[in-house]
Amino acid sequence: MTLDLRFGVASDLHIGLPHTIQNHPSRFHLVEVSVPAFETVLEHLSQLDVDFLLIPGDLTQHGEPENHAWLAQRLADLPFPTYVIPGNHDVPVPEPDGTSIGWKDFPGHYRQFGYGERNELFYTTSLAPGVRLIALNSNQFNDEGKQIGWVDEAQLQWLSQTLAECSNELILVTIHHNILEHIPDQTLHPIGRRYMLGNAPELLEILQSANVRLVFTGHLHVQDIAHRQGIFDITTGSLVSYPHPYRVIHLQQDAMGNAYLKVESHRVKSVPDWPDLQQASREWMGDRSLPFVTYMLTQPPLSLGQREALRIAPKLKYFWAAIAEGDPEFDFPDFPDGIREHFESFSHRHSQEIQLNLQDNHFHVQLGQTNRASAPLSPQSKKMLNFEAVEL
């Protein structure tokens, strides 16, 4: 093998020091476990001796200066490099307001973690000989000052030029917003579309033309791997939301230039004061899901009345928890046909990725050298990569 990399992916840390945690009764995020959950991940990754850690945004609860400062210091103490990008929670305001840092302040907090001397919120860096990371910023503000998911024209031009200059390298891209759909009709649904990059088709065209295969995203707080026209969008759930997952990625390339990818997923199972974090967090999410699923029921394509939605919503208490786990399977035999078909369409068995045998948590694939559809690993390749079954 001419390339052999193993790295961690932990997303949407939402680091909140105790005195900064904002409490409101309906929040999904268990921000109080953010620091101990991240420490658990770091301990495991240190034991694995990974080459680096990738964090695709939402490093902090809401852009608090002290949370950014704490995280930057913690990352500086690690035995491996870390590369970060901003999420919407990291740069929530254009200018500092006394509570959150300003949009342009982000690179200054993370000089050691990809940005170097750059003042833009995007960058590129070499990960290993022949391997390059391109880190994009998807956080912008429109004319009304509202935060949107978008890659601006100047950044797209920089990306095209950078890809042209790195045509002989294996490229990894990271960006906070999703560029492929991870739930049915995500681009159209009022809940799902805010997690999508607004100009994803334009970005995808640039990436496809440069034979980019791997994109790492966050934001949606679910475990999912989407595939379209040769590109894999690997989105990783949040460390402060059930099931508190993170990933270990094994990337290899042979002398012929064929790349092989192996994805393993793990969960933080307990932290101090939360001995059974998985069960407690699932209940936490379920207990707060009623307004969320009621909104889903009352919006297109179902557009149910409020009374009917409130009747059905309790039966969907753990619906989003199952989505967040990855590889969900649903069966609602007691629902009316249209409603049953809609919610069962979120099952993994109905996804287009099923043709690739694409699993959201544990997956291995031969990426090849072109944009043609990837093929599952041959038995010989599996043996060469020493793949083993992994259990959560």
Tokens standing for residue 271: 């932290």
pLDDT range class, residue 1, cuts 50, 70, 90: low
When mean pLDDT is compared across 5-19, 200-214, 340-354, the lowest value belongs to 340-354
What pLDDT shows up at residue 88?
98
Pick from 12-26, 31-45, 54-68: least confident:
12-26
pLDDT of residue 141: 96
Does the structure show a pLDDT above 80 at 266? yes
Q: Is the peptide bond before 243 cis (omega within 30 degrees of 0)?
A: yes
Which residue type sits at 116? G
Q: What pLDDT is stored for residue 392 in this prediction?
A: 22
- Read off the amino acid at residue 10: A
Question: Does residue 137 register a pLDDT over 60?
Answer: yes
pLDDT in tens, 270-294: 999 999 999 999 999 999 999 999 9
Instruction: Label residue 26 by pLDDT band (50, 70, 90).
Output: confident
Tell me the sheet residues that pair with 132: 126, 171
Residue 376 in this model has a pLDDT that exceeds 70:
no
What is the topology classification, in CATH, of domain 3-267?
Answer: Purple Acid Phosphatase; chain A, domain 2 (3.60.21)
Q: Is the pLDDT of residue 220 over 80?
A: yes
Tell me the pLDDT tens digit for each residue of 59-80. Answer: 999 999 999 999 999 999 999 9
Q: What is the mean pLDDT of the chain?
A: 91
> Is residue 358 scored above 50 in pLDDT?
yes
Could you tell me what percent of the chain has a pLDDT over 70? Answer: 92
Q: Mutual orientation of helices 153-165 and 200-209 as an angle, nearest 10°?
A: 10
Q: Which of 175, 215, 191, 221 is nearest to 12 (CA)?
A: 221
Nearest by Cα to 365 from 349, 383, 357: 357
Compute the average pLDDT of residues 300-304: 94
Per-residue pLDDT band at 371 (split at 50, 70, 90): very low
Tokens of 269: 């199972």
**Domain extents for the chain?**
3-267, 279-350
pLDDT at 377 over 60: no
Percentage of the chain lying above the pLDDT 90 cut: 84
Q: Name the nearest CA neighbour of 73 among 26, 109, 44.
A: 109
User: Which residues does 178 contact at the CB level (< 8 Å), separation at least 6?
Assistant: 186, 195, 196, 197, 200, 217, 219, 220, 226, 233, 235
Report the pLDDT averaged over residues 118-131: 97
In this prediction, residue 213 carries a pLDDT of: 95
Question: Which residues 6+ apart lie within 8 Å of 231 measured at CB?
Answer: 179, 180, 204, 207, 208, 212, 213, 214, 215
DSSP state of 93: B
| 350-372 mean pLDDT | 71
Name the pLDDT band for 94 (thresholds 50, 70, 90): very high
Choose among 233, 186, 179: nearest CA to 201: 179
286 C-beta neighbours (distance < 10 Å), count: 17
- What confidence score (pLDDT) does residue 190 get? 78
> Quick one: average pLDDT of 184-200?
92
What is the arithmetic mean of pLDDT over 134-158? 97
**Does residue 5 contact residue 131 with C-beta atoms inside 8 Å?**
yes
Question: Taking the CB of residue 359, how many other CB atoms lie within 10 A of it?
Answer: 17
Q: What is the rounded distance in angstroms from the CA atom of residue 199 to the CA atom of residue 178?
A: 11
When pLDDT is cut at 50, 70 and 90, the band that residue 337 belongs to is: very high
Integer angstrom CA distances of residue 261 from 2, 7, 128, 257, 316: 14, 12, 16, 13, 35
Whether 379 shows a pLDDT value over 60: the answer reads no
| Amino acid sitting at position 340 | R
